[in-house]
Amino acid sequence: MKTIVVVGNGMVGYKFCEKFVAQPESALYKVIVFGEEPRVAYDRVHLSSYFENQDAKALELAPRSWYETHNIDLICNEYVSDIDRDSKSVETASGSNYTYDTLILATGSSPFVPPISGVEKKGVFVYRTIEDLEDMLAFAKALKTQKNNPKAAILGGGLLGLEAGKAVMDMGLEPHVVEFAPKLMPRQLDKRSSNVLQLTLENIGIHIHTAKATNKIIGEGQITGMDFGEDDSLEVDMLVISAGIRPRDELAKRCDLNVGIRGGVVVNEKMQTSDPNIYAIGEVALYNQMIYGLVAPGYEMAEVAVNQILHKNDVVMKSSIDMSTKLKLIGVDVASFGEPYMPADKGLSIIYENKTKGVYKRINVSHDGKTLLGGIMVGDAEDYGILHQMYINNMPLPDNAEELIVGSRGEGGGSAFGSVIDLPDEAVICSCEAITKGQVCCSVIDDGNETVKEVAKATKAGTGCGGCKPMITDLVKESLKTLGKTVKERICEHFNYSRQELFDIVKTKKVTSYNNLLDLVGEGNGCEVCKPVVASIFASIYNETANRQETIQDSNDRYLANIQRNGTYSVVPRVAGGEITPKQLIAMGRIAQKYDLYTKITGGQRIDMFGAKLHELPLIWEELIEEGFETGQAYGKSLRTVKSCVGSTWCRYGMDESVSFAIEIENRYKGIRSPHKFKGGVSGCIRECAEARGKDFGFIAVEGGWNVYVGGNGGANPKHALLIAEKVDKETAIKYVDRFIMFYIKTAQPLQRTAPWLDKLEGGITYLQNVIINDSLGIVDELDKEMQALVDSYKCEWKEAVETPEIRERYTHFINSDEEDENIEFVSLRDQKMPKEWA
């Protein structure tokens, strides 16, 4: 049996193992892997997600047991310190020796730390490993307790630097990105796109400083600032260096393998180093005089090495390597592919720029207009997938190449590209895993996989950076169509129906219980996906409260309160339109004080009281109801708040009484359950202080009536609502919105808000106008009636709960003891309290 020793258990080292054991011949080899890091290989590309959840396990590429199952000896926390090429053995830092027949260097790279004076100071970090992140988090946390508004700088405005910028912002520090070049992402972007990106980033709160050469890091022991010379400096409390990478070729140097002048282990197209028994792959390998700082080329190298070792000699590395990238910074799309900017003698560029929207797109086309050479997209990279495909597959361009970026899109017209299904079978769709279009389609057509999830499981497509998921979704859909199968928006394994279909079934068959519905048209015993969907349908049809079938409700609905991170709950009474009397304020204050609740004004113009224990909820609500309050349904997929501005009642510009209207409409829709939550806004004039256009429905008073808007939201993907009617009177305005909401409730998918629903509605806003204003489907009478029935049957579900002994009984932590949950702990915060930190 031959032995393969792999040095480095990073992304590429792991991929080598995965690809190797997938070959039947691998049974003849013993594989031993050394990793310097204390944990098994993880997804470095999504390192930043660790900030959100601190869940290291979720990042693992495979659990430790995977290595055992495949008979791989994994030795973590062990640095390989030397290689003896004569005896073909390696020595580890702890002094053990292992012999090899073949050695794989997958040692990756380390962050490059420029020789600036002061980089050793406390508070200066690099960004590469989970440990780096943990150190940064701990430091940031301490900083925040020491001073107000601490600042963190990132040295380097490249791909990684910007990601680090977002990360420190998420940690609650004021982010500053410092770049030596005069523009951001100098390697991928031209000056104009860089400017667009800079503006967008500044808008989300990241400060950008370009053309700054850092001379010195200032501070006594701990960093306090950066010095740029000529009296120019920046005060910062923390610094993350992201100034490029250096291949970790120290081992290779020590045993005299060929390395490049600027580092990296020289390899040939077989991934062999100057010693044919030693291969180098990933970020340590210098191929074609280049280091490739991306996973996809590393994975290809792993594939080549596996094949070479198993004597499949015709698999070699391509000579040109695709370095296209898409930034995964949340909130801003940035992508570049092929030749992002290019001298005029090679081709021509077509540029589209829209400063108001923060969009810049550039494509570079050959002189004859036939081929795509590369491009840049900032602000809108939706078409990156397909453009990138056209580029790597050398596909012919349409006659009017500009349509690729300005589009013949929009109403009615399809896009200029045709569809993914027109790509050649060899087109690589998932570049991380090198999966072609042909493989994806085969997986559907020949192997019977019917969902993106199944295809991902079978082929691994889309499991890397995830950037290709939209294309895979389209391919799965199109392939199913060729089989004559329609793609069903199936709710889950228990109901082979879309929400809309189930809605109709419940209504026409008059089903009233979840169990009956499951027996009638479902399979099996249900799950956490279909239960709340069905609960929402019952609520929309019968206006039944969450109290009746409590175990099919989402946890928040089941207890009529929002669960908080420590298992306590929040209490949010309705404050329609945001109008509240001093007397009500005092009552709320008194009750909050009595139960020691943390109080805060919410973003929805009302008051949230946090930290109530389960058994306290009915007690608190009993008192609130006594004072005249009702539930605010902050826990439900239902109407939340209707935000108002003060309007003509007080405001000198007001055109109408926005508060009165907001209260009226909030009381009209309160309690109505829907596929997702919905919110409203009413502004007294076009200054729009109530942000009505940022809501699912909105009214704005204008000269001569109300303008009516629908389909907006804030949140992660903000959308402005669209105008459906102008200058109408209040009654008409309400009627249109009634119909809009009812139509949405009946036809949307689960957890789809009005904006994405409208987006997917064929014909868009014009179609919607036709349905609800011109009655093109002949359904408005029905919609009106259904809405009125909901409005008329409203009841406060908390009142119902506190008055019904069986429901009240649900509010106890233990059913066999009156004790409280001793696991809940609070700490004090600015004269109030908060949950103890998660361990």
Partner 1 sequence: MIANTFETVSNEDVTTWFKAAHLSKFPKNGGACIKYKDKQIAVFNFEREGTWYACQNLCPHKMEMVLSRGMIGEENGEAKIACPLHKNTFSLKTGENLNGSLDAIATYPVKIEDDFVYVGFVD
Ligand X SMILES: Cc1cc2nc3c(=O)[nH]c(=O)nc-3n(C[C@H](O)[C@H](O)[C@H](O)COP(=O)(O)OP(=O)(O)OC[C@H]3O[C@@H](n4cnc5c(N)ncnc54)[C@H](O)[C@@H]3O)c2cc1C
Distance CA 541, CA 638 (A): 13
Nearer to ligand SRM, 362 or 606 (CB): 606
Of the ranges 105-113, 602-610, 665-673, 738-746, which one interacts with ligand X (CB under 6 A)? 105-113
Nearer to ligand SRM, 283 or 608 (CB): 608
Distance CA 533, CA 155 (A): 48
Nearer to ligand X, 295 or 395 (CB): 295
Give kind and range of the element (H or E) at residue 133.
helix 130-146
End-to-end CA distance of the chain: 46
- Residue 716 touches partner 1, criterion: CB under 8 A: no
- The entry of ligand SRM, partner 1, ligand X, none near residue 570 (CB within 5 to 8 angstroms by kind) is ligand SRM
DSSP 287: B
Q: What is the largest distance, in Å, between two alpha-carbon atoms of the chain?
A: 92
- The entry of partner 1, ligand X, ligand SRM, none near residue 128 (CB within 5 to 8 angstroms by kind) is ligand X
- Residue 130 touches partner 1, criterion: CB under 8 A: no
Report residue 350 as tokens: 């077509």
- The entry of ligand X, partner 1, ligand SRM, none near residue 714 (CB within 5 to 8 angstroms by kind) is ligand SRM
Of the ranges 230-238, 239-247, 472-480, 552-560, which one interacts with partner 1 (CB under 8 A)? 552-560
Q: Which amino acid is at 551?
A: T
Give kind and range of the element (H or E) at residue 620.
helix 617-626
- Residue 107 touches ligand X, criterion: CB under 6 A: yes
Q: How far is the CB of 433 from ligand SRM (least distance, A)?
A: 30
- The entry of ligand SRM, partner 1, ligand X, none near residue 142 (CB within 5 to 8 angstroms by kind) is none
Backbone φ/ψ region at 310: left (φ over 0), alpha (ψ -120 to 50), beta = alpha
Give kind and range of the element (H or E) at residue 608.
strand 607-612
The CA-CA-CA angle for residues 430, 108, 48, to 5°, reads: 65
Q: How far is the CB of 557 from partner 1 (least distance, A)?
A: 10
Q: Of 5, 13, 308, 647, which lies in the binding site for ligand X, with binding defined by CB under 6 A?
A: 13
Helix ranges (DSSP H) in 396-482: 403-406, 437-445, 452-459, 469-482
Report residue 576 as tokens: 């329609």
Nearer to partner 1, 313 or 525 (CB): 525
Nearer to partner 1, 225 or 636 (CB): 636
Report residue 325 as tokens: 């990238």
Nearer to ligand X, 406 or 434 (CB): 434
Question: Would you tell me which residues interact with ligand SRM (CB under 6 A)?
Answer: 562, 564, 570, 572, 600, 602-604, 606, 608, 634, 640-641, 643, 677, 679, 713-717, 753
- Residue 248 touches ligand X, criterion: CB under 6 A: yes
Sequence-distant (6+) residues with CB within 8 A of 632 are 572, 573, 574, 575, 606, 640, 641
- The entry of ligand X, ligand SRM, partner 1, none near residue 562 (CB within 5 to 8 angstroms by kind) is ligand SRM
Give kind and range of the element (H or E) at residue 428.
strand 428-430
For residues 507 and 789, the answer to whether their CB atoms sit within 8 Å is no
How many Cα atoms sit within 13 Å of 197 on the Cβ side?
32
Per-residue mark of binding to ligand X, 295-314 (x: CB under 6 A)? xx-x----------------
Q: How far is the CB of 164 from ligand X (least distance, A)?
A: 7
Q: Of 66, 79, 98, 826, which lies in the binding site for ligand X, with binding defined by CB under 6 A?
A: 79
Q: Quickly count: other Cβ atoms within 10 Å of residue 600's Cβ.
A: 12
Identify the CA nearest to 542 among candidates 518, 566, 514, 568.
514
Q: How far is the CB of 230 from ligand X (least distance, A)?
A: 32
Q: Which amino acid is at 190?
A: D
Q: At what angle do helices 780-792 and 764-772 cross, to 10 degrees?
A: 80
Q: At what angle do helices 469-482 and 452-459 cross, to 10 degrees?
A: 110
Per-residue mark of binding to ligand X, 26-45 (x: CB under 6 A)? --------xxxx------xx
User: Which three-class secondary structure string do you get for 303-358?
Assistant: HHHHHHHCCCCCCCCCCCCCCCEEECCCCCCEEEEECCCCCCCCEEEEEEEEHHHC
Residues 431-470 that bind ligand X (CB under 6 A): 465
Per-residue mark of binding to partner 1, 784-823 (x: CB under 8 A)? --------------------------x--xxxxx-x-x-x
Nearer to partner 1, 67 or 127 (CB): 67
- Residue 293 touches ligand X, criterion: CB under 6 A: yes
Nearer to ligand X, 49 or 500 (CB): 49
Distance CA 201, CA 195 (A): 10
- The entry of ligand SRM, partner 1, ligand X, none near residue 11 (CB within 5 to 8 angstroms by kind) is ligand X
How many Cα atoms sit within 13 Å of 685 on the Cβ side?
12
Residues contacting partner 1: total by CB under 8 A: 41
Q: Of 148, 313, 508, 551, which lies in the binding site for partner 1, with binding defined by CB under 8 A?
A: 551
- The entry of ligand SRM, partner 1, ligand X, none near residue 600 (CB within 5 to 8 angstroms by kind) is ligand SRM
Q: Of 225, 526, 654, 681, which lies in the binding site for partner 1, with binding defined by CB under 8 A?
A: 526
Distance CA 729, CA 731 (A): 6
Q: Of 4, 5, 6, 10, which lies in the binding site for ligand X, with binding defined by CB under 6 A?
A: 10
Q: Of 25, 55, 425, 775, which lies in the binding site for partner 1, with binding defined by CB under 8 A?
A: 55
Of the ranges 291-299, 348-356, 556-564, 803-811, which one interacts with ligand X (CB under 6 A)? 291-299
- The entry of ligand SRM, ligand X, partner 1, none near residue 162 (CB within 5 to 8 angstroms by kind) is none
Distance CA 442, CA 455 (A): 10
Give kind and range of the element (H or E) at residue 192.
helix 191-203
* C-alpha 326, offset from chain centre: 14
- The entry of ligand X, partner 1, ligand SRM, none near residue 465 (CB within 5 to 8 angstroms by kind) is ligand X
- Residue 287 touches ligand X, criterion: CB under 6 A: no
List 152's β-bridge partners, or say none.
Answer: 175, 238
Q: Of 528, 596, 729, 803, which lies in the binding site for partner 1, with binding defined by CB under 8 A?
A: 528
How many Cα atoms sit within 13 Å of 457 on the Cβ side?
8
* C-alpha 143, offset from chain centre: 27
Distance CA 364, CA 384 (A): 14
CB-nearest residue to ligand X? 10
Identify the CA nearest to 533 among candidates 679, 748, 739.
748
Contacting positions for ligand X (CB under 6 A): 7-13, 34-37, 44-45, 47, 79-80, 106-108, 127-128, 160, 163, 248, 251, 282-283, 293-296, 298, 328, 465
Contacting positions for partner 1 (CB under 8 A): 55, 57-58, 60, 63, 493, 515, 518, 524-532, 550-552, 554-556, 558-559, 563, 565-567, 810, 813-817, 819, 821, 823-824, 838-839
